[in-house]
Structure 1
Amino acid sequence: MDITRFGHAALLVESGPHRVLIDPGTFSRDEAFDLTDLDAIVVTHQHPDHVDPARIERLLSANPSARLLAEPQTVAALDGLGVWQAMAADVTVELGPSMTLTGVGFQHAVIHPDMPRIGNVGVLVEAAGTRLLHPGDSYATVPRDIDVLAVPLSAPWAKVSETVDFVRAVAPRIVFPIHDCTVSELAYPIYWGRVAEMGGAEQALLLGQDGTASV
């Protein structure tokens, strides 16, 4: 399995003939919206840093046969921008004999009690004997037997102690950061350093905004 970051929460996951793009949002690099030959585009929730309505049409036009999968409320929010299929928790979508996508969780993490919560469905990608979790914006659901965790590093709803505890609960073999455009370069070691040191994963990879890893 090859994983490429395109900034913030956007990931391209490739295995064999399959290519899946997750969460191409407003903080994502422009190159994410020029990708082609995608089997699926997945959106975990409707916040713009996870799906950019201004650029998504370009991506959809370049990938007319891609399956469009999104959290149910997000399907409604994207009405008129392609034909999206609702992706619910514990529902598995087969892209072929060598890759499946399974929905994980239900709701976005609490930002503030006065703010209504929206839906959030993370995605578990299984391919080539590897299980990758992209949780979207939530630490609430902890699937078993995760090999690789893309962990949200900084958000209005998160703090470092919660991030460390989530990594420990998931107990992945490999962890790398996503959702980090809100962290300055100077402060980055404070956030990632604590997670890498205290999370307990065998390997902590710092992919950066546009890094690639084979796992």
Structure 2
Amino acid sequence: MLWVNGLMDITRFGHAALLLESGPHRVLIDPGTFSREEVFDLTGLDAIVVTHQHPDHVDPARIERLLAGNPDARLLAEPQTVAALEGFGVWEPTAADVTVELGRSMTLTGVGFEHAVIHPDMPRVGNVGILVEADGTRLFHPGDSYASVPRDVDVLAVPLSAPWAKVSETVDFVRAVAPRVVFPIHDCTISDVAYLVYWGRVAEMGGAEQALLLGQDGTTSA
């Protein structure tokens, strides 16, 4: 778990899945196929957010269990994903620059439009990242894209490895966002022995004040 400014708790549940807690609010982002099993047993969520339709960001085999345990949660997803999840609850479409308020102390704002290019021959799907603001702390989860750079980001959850990414692009994205704190997500495609080939470059070259390794099991290290 990562505790930011004493105001926001951040817990990873593997790959791109994050639980954000601030005051009375609990928001879960991208519970996918690579996520740990216990993420689908969480309860008391105010919102569940899915950045795009790829299964490593939303697991259709386990999402029903999560929704059953959170009948009052707002369900927010990129528009194509809303269509793909038809029959799995009532989802609201997200969009760039559209803000959803959770009470008075947390907002969720959409960022971006499209998934990064994997190969020119592959059709691109929609991707709307999410900017979460709570009590003055702003966290950005971009989904699968480096294209959009919101301003005044305090904490960046940076996708570290993907078929669409390379290390130089990851470093340049962190530099462009210029967060105070950066930690890796989207890293299940990296073996343990090779992990620092990716994270080491981002930590050394990204320019963030703190580069924290928030592990798959929720542990934190510099």
TM-score range, shorter chain: over 0.9
1:18-97 maps to which residues of 2 (within 5 A)?
18-97=25-104
Runs of 5+ consecutive residues of structure 2 not aligned to the other structure: 1-7
In the alignment, does 2:163 pair up with 1:161? no
Q: Percent identity?
A: 87
Report the TM-score, using the length of structure 2 for normalisation: 0.95
Identify the structure with bigger relative contact order (alpha carbons < 8 Å, sequence gap 6+): 1
In the alignment, does 2:178 pair up with 1:186? no
8 Å contact kept, 1:2–1:212: no
Distance 1:159 1:209 in 2: 21
Counterpart residue number, 1:104: 111
1:130-145 maps to which residues of 2 (within 5 A)?
130-145=137-152
Distance 2:103 2:122 in 1: 40
Report the TM-score, using the length of structure 1 for normalisation: 0.98
Q: Which amino acid aligns with 2:156?
A: L
Q: Which amino acid aligns with 2:203?
A: A
Q: Which amino acid aligns with 1:121?
A: V
Question: Following TM superposition, by how much is the alpha carbon of 1:212 offset from its aligned partner in structure 2, in angstroms?
Answer: 5.7
- Specify which of 193, 198, 205 is matched with residue 212 of structure 2: 205
Give the superposed CA RMSD: 0.7
Counterpart residue number, 1:175: 182
Distance 1:50 1:177 in 2: 15
Q: Which amino acid aligns with 1:196?
A: A
Question: Following TM superposition, by how much is the alpha carbon of 1:139 offset from its aligned partner in structure 2, in angstroms?
Answer: 0.1
8 Å contact kept, 1:40–1:67: yes
| CA-to-aligned-CA distance 1:100-145 (integer Å, 9 cap, x gap) | 0000000000000000000000000000210000000000000000
Distance 2:103 2:192 in 1: 40
Runs of 5+ consecutive residues of structure 1 not aligned to the other structure: none
